[in-house]
Chain A
Amino acid sequence: MKLYCLSGHPTLPCNVLKFKSTTIMLDCGLDMTSTLNFLPLPLVQSPRLSKLPGWVLKDGSTFLDKELKECSGHVFVDSVPEFCLPETELLDLSTVDVILISNYHCMMALPYITEYTGFTGTVYATEPTVQIGRLLMEELVNSIERVPKAQSASMWKNKEVQRLLPAPLKDAVEVSMWRKCYTMPEVNAALSKIQLVGYSQKIELFGAVQVTPLSSGYALGSSNWIIQSHYEKVSYVSGSSLLTTHPQPMDQASLKNSDVLILTGLTQIPTANPDGMVGEFCSNLAMTVRNGGNVLVPCYPSGVIYDLLECLYQYIDSAGLSNVPFYFISPVANSSLEFSQIFAEWLCHNKQTKVYLPEPPFPHAELIQTNKLKHYPSIHGDFSNDFKQPCVVFTGHPSLRFGDVVHFMELWGKSSLNTVIFTEPDFSYLDALAPYQPLAMKCVYCPIDTRLNFIQVSKLLKEVQPLHVVCPEQYTQPPPTQSHRTDLMIDCQPPAMSYRRAEVLTLPYKRRYEKIEIMPDLADSLVPLEIKPGISLATVSAVLHTKDNKHVLQLPPKPPQPPASKKRKRVSDDVPECKSLKPLLSGSIPVDQFVQTLEKHGFSDVKVEDTAKGHIVLLQEAETLIQLEEDSTHIICDNDEPLRVKLRDLVLKFLQKF
């Protein structure tokens, strides 16, 4: 069993598991933090951005000033943003049989894998994962494609040049592997390879392995996966949550008895309590609006936004915000809000009960009905007519590099009345803000990450007791900025095996058994023998059929009747064709009884001699000698086949066959 680690990002994993005869890719995460090195893509021509000075090397060379721009001491690439792909060279990705997706954030690299590596397998994911994943991809493609960029910078990627650049560009890894965003046709092609699955559905892979998605409690349709054969069980835990938000609770019980548990996607902000953050979010929002400022919430179009809207639904009236407009701007805003209401089966119990009434599970339906929440595909069109300030705007992308959010940053950045509130934990907010500096607007950091923290992990591991834990190396040491916090790492026995990008782990598990089916007629023919109290045995000689990795034992065919023809046979025709197997023997032969038996069968001249280890039985007339010892019998005779066979069968009567 081997694990190929293709991504270094602990919350956006991409691993390949080789298990029995199958090759299974676990998640397909796309590391988008690379985009932080690029300049934002403004929807409307931004004089500020276009006037940024080109970057000049210390020696005064200016050959990079078209590609790199400087803003408040940081250097950015002036080009279409690019993403850091999972490793594609570590193994031949065309050999991947299936891809298992755990949640919609972890499938963003899918088109790169399915469309460019010769992949011919199947992708498995739940319906909400696919639908919302499609929305995220659509939004991404849309926000990049609608701002065409004339130039594409590549000179800076040259290794010799990159060496000269300031951090973090200098240290960026695998820049040659960075790729531009995919297109909608590629997204559609990738998504068409997905097969929908439900929680606790058992999916057979080539008869060798069974995979099952389990609820992971983190997002709509998010799942952990069990990958098992009859004897081995690997649990893949990725992006799980024990908090009660909108998704169905996490299924922990089914993770028990795992031989290996692969643990990824823990909280990125282990020190922040999500509930506290939501409170802070609400109070900062209310304060800004009351002071006549606007609030900008950079966010993804699905996920935490549902919970934030639900909080606001309960909060706005009591906070006196009933007249403040809430805008949700995204090319997929409408779809996201609509889709959230139709996945009742994937929601927590309370929300399910609402659907039984029947009422929409999320209260944002009411916010829309009462015109408190309005959604638009973009800032162009209807929005510009309806736009009223002060207001609250939810829009993407959380990296602040593309999407409608860029416009609002430029629009509101200059006034200290306004506030930008960061809730998504995927990007460092300081890095996200860097190309907008200097900034007068207030910045509040309320990261809401509901994924497991280390206390919950240690409780979980105690509960489900896996034999081995495998996790990204980041989880086996305290965070680099808080090296004294030894509580912020995984603590288990035996210590977790850690992996890093481009590493191959051999997982410690040795298979010893396999399942085989005995056909009923063969079972009927078996003769069990009780060898010890409670233990019986039967010797089985059977034909083994193996098809689709399933093994079946059948009655051996009856030996074919010898042909009736009287042709003279050649000697070699009689050569036994295959080595027909004889059982092993066990037991010992009591000499007295043996002699009695011989006599009963007509041997009258039996003589017994004692030896050091046993006895010798002599049949004088036949010049035959039988050595009896505790664990062996030796029949020495002339070439008298009938006699030998007779003696053989008499001896066998005393022995057990295995």
Chain B
Amino acid sequence: MPEIKVTPLGAGQDVGRSCILVSIAGKNVMLDCGMHMGYNDDRRFPDFSYITQNGRLTDFLDCVIISHFHLDHCGALPYFSEMVGYDGPIYMTHPTKAICPILLEDYRKITVDKKGETNFFTSQMIKDCMKKVVAVHLHQTVQVDEELEIKAYYAGHVLGAAMFQIKVGCESVVYTGDYNMTPDRHLGAAWIDKCRPDLLITESTYATTIRDSKRCRERDFLKKVHETVERGGKVLIPVFALGRAQELCILLETFWERMNLKAPIYFSTGLTEKANHYYKLFITWTNQKIRKTFVQRNMFEFKHIKAFDRAFADNPGPMVVFATPGMLHAGQSLQIFRKWAGNEKNMVIMPGYCVQGTVGHKILSGQRKLEMEGRQILEVKMQVEYMSFSAHADAKGIMQLIRQAEPRNVLLVHGEAKKMEFLKQKIEQEFHVSCFMPANGETTTILTNPCIPVDISLGLLKRETAIGPLPDAKKPKLMHGTLLMKDNSFRLVSPEQALKELGLAEHQLRFTCRVHIQDPRKEHETGLRVYNHLKGILKDYSVQHLPDGSITVESILIQATAHSEDQGTKVLLVSWTYQDEELGSYLTSLLKKGLPQSTP
């Protein structure tokens, strides 16, 4: 029986390093190619040697699909394609294709220039890697080869984030990447049609969370920022350059405007303006409201938010700073954090998920003494707040997506094992489908049961649908045909056509039965009695009395002849072909019981 195999190389019972291998109907597809923010050694990239020990990746993979531009989904791509070696197609949406190389370059700079690592991918490798990228539109059916096709759906996680359907014949898999089921201030909600995949591979970051309304969280966020600024404190919001940052900027911008606040808001790194520019050019990927009004007022042109300079961090007085990266694991956000951590008036707001091993994760889990590089201990006195603004679906959202797509199986990735366990139970209970949660390197096999498409001759189909006076067109009909199989082509034709095509003659099998009945009358009178008898019983059949005295029931012929020896006995010859076997057999047994006493 055909099967679909799934092996996570990353993101199996974990968040980070998303990389999932899928084998479907002989095709191998790699979903995402991410890095792990919690590691700085070999573990930061997926172990591609799993795919093949010797031999080129290109020969083993039919294509690679990148769901969105976050580094935990695309960070290993240049390493994979240029250093390990892969020349096949890489698919992603246009905004992802535009933004991904910038984040990769940023990542490379931090790793190589700041941390001084060698043996890392180079700028040129990023460029060469991007040359292998094929950009896809939403809902476009991309034919990877003759059998394999992929299709992108809107995921609403960040600009350009997409879910992908991978389809071969009747079998299909949907991979969600990261997604968000509720529209936010700049993006729309994820959407998929009822595509009934054999398997849905979904993220499960917030598997156990059901978040309160977005409005409450926003109010809470603004209140905290406002209070801190009012008492003269500084607010640090570690973010990734693209994504949540824009949503929170829109939020603060409108709040500052409304409240007429004066405290400065800064956005760190040179990426800001560039990032906002991407949002302006790819405005068709944002939500309905922004798209509708962009001609009058472009939401990504901010009045109150200015570029940050490193020196500003030491300025006295209140301020709000958005700094990258979002998990406080390196770069400017970490630098500012170290400067401000000692003052209890200040506040750091973590607006998203932090993976294990990052400073962000440590302070969120309550650690207040951090060991920094060079054995230095940093005491955290500033307030630490966590607000879930990351655009992942919560438990409710995940269930909603499953309801939308109606998969036959579900597989969880991109989440923590304990939380997955809980969600898995819930899914199995509610939808009665199998749910899997393989660890990294563990293979899940799903049996599929694809139906077989064949060509049916229109003549046969029309004949079958026309047969019989069926008042109810929806009622299923029994049909009979011959399936011809030749070089992988399957054709269902009428038996007559099959014989003709094969140059064979039909062999006619005919039966003639002699039925003896007692009837002293003349032969033609016997015939008439038989006719009336049958006519009375076989109401749905065409029963005819022919001029020569014989009777037909459909194509069955009945003749009454005299018995050679006994005048009181007549012999009925009932003759039918094999195709009328049932009726013929029935008639003989019926006639054998004799004729009813005739009424004059």
List residues of chain A with CB under 8 Å of any chain B CB: 127, 197-202, 212, 230-231, 334-335, 338-339, 341-345, 352, 355-356, 358, 360-361, 511-520, 523, 526, 528, 531-532, 534-547, 551-554, 556, 571-572, 574-576, 578-588, 630-639, 641, 644-645, 648, 651-652, 655, 658
Contact = CB atoms under 8 A, between A and B. Distances in A.
B481 to A, nearest CB: 5
A532 B502 contact: yes
Given A200-B142, A339-B295, A583 B495 contact: yes
Given A342-B281, A352-B94, A586-B504, A539 B495 contact: yes
Interface string B450-491: 111111111101001100100000101111111111110001
B500 to A, nearest CB: 10
A538 B480 CA distance: 11
Q: Is the interface of B mostly helix, strand, loop or mixed?
A: mixed
B499 interface: yes
Contacts of B510: 632-635
A637 B282 contact: no
A536 B487 CA distance: 10
Contact of B465 (A127, A546, A585, A641): A546
Contact of B480 (A511, A583, A632): A583
B483 A540 contact: yes
Contacts of B457: 512-514
Contacts of A341: 281
Interface centre among A344, A356, A556 (most CB of B within 10 A): A356
Contacts of A230: 455
Nearest to A658: B495
Contact of B455 (A338, A513, A634): A513
Nearest to B513: A639
A544 B479 CA distance: 6
Given A200-B137, A201-B139, A355 B499 contact: no
Nearest to B455: A513
21 contacts: A199-B140, A200-B142, A334-B295, A355-B94, A356-B101, A512-B457, A512-B459, A532-B502, A537-B502, A538-B483, A541-B479, A543-B476, A544-B477, A575-B586, A576-B586, A579-B554, A579-B583, A636-B511, A639-B516, A641-B589, A648-B509
B581 to A, nearest CB: 6
Nearest to A254: B143
Interface in B494-534: 495-496, 498-499, 502, 504-516
Contact of A584 (B135, B278, B506): B506
A253 to B, nearest CB: 11
A537 B476 contact: no
Interface string B97-111: 110010000000000
Nearest to B461: A514
B212 interface: no
Interface in B274-317: 274, 277-278, 280-284, 294-295
Given A197-B139, A513-B456, A575 B478 contact: no
Contact of B586 (A335, A355, A574, A648): A574
B294 A514 contact: no
Contact of A198 (B140, B481, B588): B140
Contacts of B498: 537, 658
Contact of B478 (A202, A551, A578): A578
B124 interface: no
Contacts of A579: 554, 582-583
B449 interface: yes
Contact of B486 (A516, A534, A575, A636): A534
Contact of B461 (A231, A543, A551): A551
B112 interface: no
Contact of A518 (B135, B452, B514): B452
B519 to A, nearest CB: 15
B446 interface: no
Contact of A512 (B283, B458, B507, B585): B458
Contacts of A536: 484-486
Interface residues of B, number: 88
A518 B478 contact: no
Contact of B98 (A356, A645, A655): A356
A655 B139 contact: no
Contacts of A537: 482-485, 498, 502
Interface string B534-568: 00011110000000000000100000000000000
Given A202-B141, A553-B479, 19 more contacts: A199-B137, A199-B140, A358-B278, A513-B458, A523-B451, A526-B483, A538-B483, A539-B495, A582-B579, A582-B581, A585-B509, A635-B510, A635-B512, A636-B513, A637-B511, A637-B514, A639-B514, A648-B509, A655-B507
B509 A198 contact: no
Contact of B511 (A515, A523, A547, A635): A635
A578 B579 contact: no
B592 interface: yes
Nearest to A516: B456
Interface of B: 94, 97-98, 101, 135, 137-142, 170, 274, 277-278, 280-284, 294-295, 449-459, 461, 464-465, 468, 474, 476-487, 491-492, 495-496, 498-499, 502, 504-516, 537-540, 554, 578-583, 585-586, 588-590, 592-593
A545 B585 contact: no
B481 A540 contact: yes
A342 B282 contact: yes
A586 B505 contact: yes
A554 to B, nearest CB: 8
Contact of A631 (B280, B480, B505): B505
Nearest to B573: A636
Contacts of A539: 480-483, 495
Contact of A644 (B282, B452, B483, B513): B513
Contacts of B581: 582, 648
Interface centre among B138, B456, B512 (most CB of A within 10 A): B456
B452 A636 contact: no
Contacts of A574: 586, 590
Contacts of A552: 451
Nearest to A361: B281
A638 B512 CA distance: 8
Contacts of B506: 584-586, 631
Given A198-B138, A537-B483, A586 B451 contact: no
Contacts of B507: 585-588, 631-633, 655
A520 B1 CA distance: 10
B282 A575 contact: no
B583 A541 contact: no
A511 B592 CA distance: 49
A658 B482 contact: yes
A199 B554 CA distance: 56
B456 A551 contact: yes
Minimum-distance CB pairs A-B, first 10:
A658-B495, A581-B480, A584-B495, A198-B137, A632-B508, A516-B456, A356-B98, A517-B451, A200-B140, A636-B512
Contacts of A588: 507
A658 B494 CA distance: 9
Given A199-B140, A585-B578, A658-B498, A344 B449 contact: no
B139 A198 contact: yes
Given A511-B458, A520-B452, A358 B274 contact: yes
A342 B586 CA distance: 76
A583 B588 CA distance: 21
A515 B481 contact: no
Contacts of B495: 539, 583-584, 658
Contact of B582 (A540, A551, A576): A576
A538 B511 contact: no
Nearest to A625: B512
A639 B479 contact: no
Given A201-B141, A511-B458, A582-B581, A658 B499 contact: yes
Contacts of A355: 94, 98, 281-282
A520 B278 CA distance: 49
A352 B284 CA distance: 14
